[in-house]
Amino acid sequence: MFTYKGYTAELEIDPDCALICGQILDINDAIAFEGKTVEEARHDFQESVDDYLDWCKELGEEPNKPFSGKLPYRTNPETHRKIYIAAKLAGKSINSLMDEILSREVDKLIQI
Protein backbone atom coordinates (compact mmCIF):
# COMPACT_ATOMS: atom_id res chain seq x y z
CA MET A 1 0.00 0.00 0.00
CA PHE A 2 1.01 3.57 -0.67
CA THR A 3 -0.19 6.65 1.18
CA TYR A 4 0.08 10.25 0.01
CA LYS A 5 -1.75 13.42 1.07
CA GLY A 6 -4.25 11.35 3.03
CA TYR A 7 -5.05 8.95 0.19
CA THR A 8 -4.31 5.22 0.28
CA ALA A 9 -3.66 2.95 -2.68
CA GLU A 10 -3.79 -0.80 -3.09
CA LEU A 11 -1.28 -2.48 -5.40
CA GLU A 12 -1.45 -5.54 -7.63
CA ILE A 13 1.11 -7.12 -9.87
CA ASP A 14 -0.01 -7.81 -13.42
CA PRO A 15 2.37 -10.54 -14.58
CA ASP A 16 0.97 -10.50 -18.13
CA CYS A 17 1.90 -6.85 -18.62
CA ALA A 18 4.86 -6.89 -16.18
CA LEU A 19 3.37 -3.91 -14.33
CA ILE A 20 2.55 -2.88 -10.82
CA CYS A 21 -0.99 -1.55 -11.00
CA GLY A 22 -2.86 0.30 -8.31
CA GLN A 23 -6.07 1.99 -7.37
CA ILE A 24 -6.88 4.62 -4.77
CA LEU A 25 -9.06 3.03 -2.11
CA ASP A 26 -10.53 5.83 -0.07
CA ILE A 27 -12.50 7.82 -2.65
CA ASN A 28 -15.55 7.11 -4.77
CA ASP A 29 -13.92 8.43 -7.94
CA ALA A 30 -11.92 5.84 -9.89
CA ILE A 31 -8.22 6.68 -10.01
CA ALA A 32 -5.74 4.09 -11.21
CA PHE A 33 -1.98 4.18 -11.74
CA GLU A 34 0.86 1.88 -12.76
CA GLY A 35 4.59 1.46 -13.08
CA LYS A 36 7.19 -1.08 -14.08
CA THR A 37 8.96 -0.64 -10.72
CA VAL A 38 7.76 0.20 -7.22
CA GLU A 39 9.24 3.68 -7.55
CA GLU A 40 7.53 4.25 -10.92
CA ALA A 41 4.21 3.09 -9.45
CA ARG A 42 4.68 5.32 -6.38
CA HIS A 43 5.52 8.30 -8.61
CA ASP A 44 2.48 7.68 -10.83
CA PHE A 45 0.29 7.31 -7.72
CA GLN A 46 1.50 10.64 -6.34
CA GLU A 47 1.03 12.35 -9.71
CA SER A 48 -2.48 10.88 -9.94
CA VAL A 49 -3.38 12.27 -6.51
CA ASP A 50 -1.92 15.69 -7.39
CA ASP A 51 -3.77 15.69 -10.75
CA TYR A 52 -7.02 14.73 -9.01
CA LEU A 53 -6.64 17.52 -6.44
CA ASP A 54 -5.80 20.05 -9.19
CA TRP A 55 -8.80 18.88 -11.21
CA CYS A 56 -11.11 19.31 -8.21
CA LYS A 57 -9.68 22.78 -7.59
CA GLU A 58 -10.23 23.79 -11.24
CA LEU A 59 -13.84 22.62 -11.03
CA GLY A 60 -14.33 24.39 -7.69
CA GLU A 61 -15.31 21.11 -6.05
CA GLU A 62 -14.16 19.51 -2.84
CA PRO A 63 -12.06 16.37 -3.33
CA ASN A 64 -14.05 13.22 -2.75
CA LYS A 65 -14.07 11.98 0.84
CA PRO A 66 -16.51 9.08 1.08
CA PHE A 67 -16.14 8.43 4.80
CA SER A 68 -18.75 10.17 6.91
CA GLY A 69 -17.42 9.08 10.29
CA LYS A 70 -20.56 7.04 10.87
CA LEU A 71 -19.88 3.34 11.10
CA PRO A 72 -22.82 1.01 11.74
CA TYR A 73 -21.81 -1.78 14.07
CA ARG A 74 -23.78 -4.86 15.05
CA THR A 75 -22.90 -7.37 17.73
CA ASN A 76 -24.59 -9.89 19.95
CA PRO A 77 -26.43 -8.79 23.11
CA GLU A 78 -23.75 -10.13 25.50
CA THR A 79 -20.93 -8.24 23.79
CA HIS A 80 -23.12 -5.12 23.71
CA ARG A 81 -23.64 -5.47 27.48
CA LYS A 82 -19.88 -5.85 28.07
CA ILE A 83 -19.11 -2.81 25.93
CA TYR A 84 -21.69 -0.78 27.87
CA ILE A 85 -20.22 -1.84 31.23
CA ALA A 86 -16.64 -1.16 30.07
CA ALA A 87 -17.64 2.32 28.86
CA LYS A 88 -19.38 3.10 32.16
CA LEU A 89 -16.33 1.91 34.14
CA ALA A 90 -14.07 4.09 31.97
CA GLY A 91 -16.39 7.09 32.36
CA LYS A 92 -16.90 7.27 28.60
CA SER A 93 -19.68 6.89 26.08
CA ILE A 94 -19.84 3.66 24.09
CA ASN A 95 -18.84 5.59 20.96
CA SER A 96 -15.88 7.21 22.66
CA LEU A 97 -14.63 3.92 24.11
CA MET A 98 -15.04 2.04 20.83
CA ASP A 99 -13.37 4.82 18.85
CA GLU A 100 -10.40 4.82 21.21
CA ILE A 101 -9.98 1.03 21.15
CA LEU A 102 -10.60 0.60 17.43
CA SER A 103 -8.29 3.49 16.49
CA ARG A 104 -5.47 2.06 18.59
CA GLU A 105 -5.86 -1.45 17.17
CA VAL A 106 -6.26 -0.32 13.57
CA ASP A 107 -3.15 1.86 13.87
CA LYS A 108 -1.24 -1.24 14.96
CA LEU A 109 -2.52 -3.19 11.97
CA ILE A 110 -1.70 -0.57 9.37
CA GLN A 111 1.35 0.76 11.22
CA ILE A 112 0.54 4.45 11.09
Q: Report the predicted TM-score, pTM, of the whole model to 2 decimal places.
A: 0.64
Q: In this predicted model, what pLDDT tens digit does every residue of 71-104 receive, in sequence order?
A: 888 999 999 999 999 999 999 999 999 999 999 9
Q: In this predicted model, what pLDDT tens digit does every residue of 14-29 receive, in sequence order?
A: 999 999 999 998 888 8
Residue 26: predicted pLDDT: 80
Q: Evaluate if residue 34 carries a pLDDT over 60.
A: yes
Helices (DSSP H) in 1-112: which residue ranges? 38-59, 77-90, 94-110
| Euclidean distance between CA atoms 35 and 73, whole angstroms | 38
Domain residue extents for the chain: 2-59, 77-110
